[in-house]
Amino acid sequence: MRLKDIAIFGVGGFGREVLALIKDINKVSPTYNIVGFFDDGYEKGIMVNGYPNLGKTEDLNKWETSISLAISIGSPVIKKKILDKITNPLVDYPTLIHPTAWIGDEEFVEIGKGCIICAGNMITTNIKMGDFVILNLECTVGHDTIIKDYAAFMPSVNISGEVTIGEGVYVGTGAKIINQLEIGEYTIVGAGAVVSKTLPAHCTAVGVPAKVIKFR
């Protein structure tokens, strides 16, 4: 079977972690031919962990064969801006799930396109996840949770059951979200915070319990 060409957008630390994730997928089930990276902020041709930076968005838009792309950008806002600039119809966005991630009841878990689910994640049941969501290392997602497009969760975030996460929410390392809450779109939750009350959109909340410190 021919392996599917794949590139990673973003040569930073998370991009290199996604490279390792794809290699781990291939160890279990050979799926992808890694061709390199794309990044608007780095010189074309530089080598990153053994793979070339193939250029910027404009080079990707001129790519002449079908290619899968992993958007390895933590910031939901920047990720959405990058996706809005990609116009090549030959680009597709697979969801990448590390072999060690546990999905409790796959029949009742919906995961959209372009998601990146890293090692050690635990996802239970009756969960709906939108497009381009990131679950970094060792996050947990409880039952009946809804996560909308572009949301990003840094390592060791715990989401209890019946939580609704709005589009573009960013949750810092080690934060905890108590059950039956809602977090409004493009809100930022600081590292280590404990969210015990519903949070509005476009705010930043930090602390234990999490309190809103500003709106954007």
pLDDT digits (tens, 9 = 90+) for 149-194: 999 999 999 999 999 999 999 999 999 999 999 999 999 999 999 9
* pLDDT per position as a tens digit, 74-107: 999 999 999 999 999 999 999 999 999 999 999 9
The tokens describing 50, both together, are 């053994």
The tokens describing 89, both together, are 């119809």
- Please state the pTM of the whole predicted model: 0.95
Main-chain phi, psi angles of 84, to 5 degrees: -65, -25
pLDDT for 65: 97
pLDDT band per the 50, 70, 90 thresholds, residue 200: very high
Main-chain phi, psi angles of 128, to 5 degrees: -125, 120
For the segment 2-19, the average pLDDT, to the nearest whole number, is: 97
Mean pLDDT over the full length of the chain: 97
Please report which residue ranges of 63-162 form alpha helices under DSSP H. 76-85
* pLDDT per position as a tens digit, 140-159: 999 999 999 999 999 999 99
Half-sphere exposure of 105 (CA within 13 A, CB side): 10
For the segment 117-125, the average pLDDT, to the nearest whole number, is: 98
The answer to whether the CB of 165 falls within 8 A of the CB of 184 is no
| Residue type present at position 129 | M
Residue 41 falls in which region: left (phi positive, over 0), alpha (psi -120 to 50) or beta: alpha
| Residue type present at position 5 | D
